Amino acid sequence: MTAITDFTVKTADGTAASLEPYRGKVLLIVNTASKCGFTPQYEGLEALHRDYADRGFEVLAFPCNQFGAQEPGDAAEIANFCTLTYDVTFPVFAKIDVNGTGADPLFERLKSDAPGVLGSKAIKWNFTKFLVGRDGAVVDRYAPTTKPEDIRKDIEKLL
């Protein structure tokens, strides 16, 4: 089975990028949105990123507009919002779909490896989080209601 770091995704400017540079790191992969009730979680995600980046941890954000059309902006608007509102320094990739026939292959894999409640593979809302170990395997899935700081202990175990 391939590691999460074997996938290719699109950067905010639409170019293809391998996740290979993240091999050997602990990752928190999140579907995000700028106009969601959970959007303030950007602050907690940035705190985790700043606290653990030097120990081999990365937050990877993937904007998604599938839930209540809460990410309507283009890449430039999303980047501006993340930088100006939450001083985000972790990578924010291209807007994607996480469910349905157009779902990004990375998220198909994440959902398959870490199903939700009662085995559901569908992502229910923005800010669903997937924790990936240094070996590229999915360790856990967290609901949108799980605050980033509540994942801290799980991240520390993997670092």
CA–CA dist 42, 21 (Å, integer): 23
Instruction: Tally the C-alpha atoms within 13 A of residue 109's C-alpha that lie toward its C-beta.
Output: 19
Asked if the model's pLDDT at residue 102 lies above 70, the reply is yes
**In the prediction, which pLDDT does 152 show?**
97
Asked whether the beta carbons of 88 and 82 are under 8 A apart, the reply is yes
Q: Which residues contact 100 (CB under 8 A, 6 or more apart)?
A: 66
Mean predicted lDDT score pLDDT of the chain: 95
Sign of the four-CA dihedral 157, 87, 43, 36: negative
Mean pLDDT to the nearest integer, 63-82: 93
**What range does the domain containing 97 cover?**
4-158
Query: To which residue do tokens 């990936």 refer?
Result: 132
Mean pLDDT to the nearest integer, 136-151: 96
Mean pLDDT to the nearest integer, 16-44: 96
Q: What is the CATH number of the domain that holds 38?
A: 3.40.30.10
**In the prediction, which pLDDT does 118 show?**
75
Q: How many domains does the chain have?
A: 1
Catalytic site includes residue 36 = yes
**In the prediction, which pLDDT does 117 show?**
78
**In the prediction, which pLDDT does 116 show?**
83
pLDDT digits (tens, 9 = 90+) for 6-15: 999 999 999 9
pTM score of the predicted model: 0.96
Sign of the four-CA dihedral 102, 9, 43, 111: positive
pLDDT band, residue 4 (cuts 50/70/90): very high
The residue annotated as part of the active site, out of 9, 12, 19, 36, is 36
CA–CA dist 58, 124 (Å, integer): 23
Asked if the model's pLDDT at residue 1 lies above 70, the reply is no
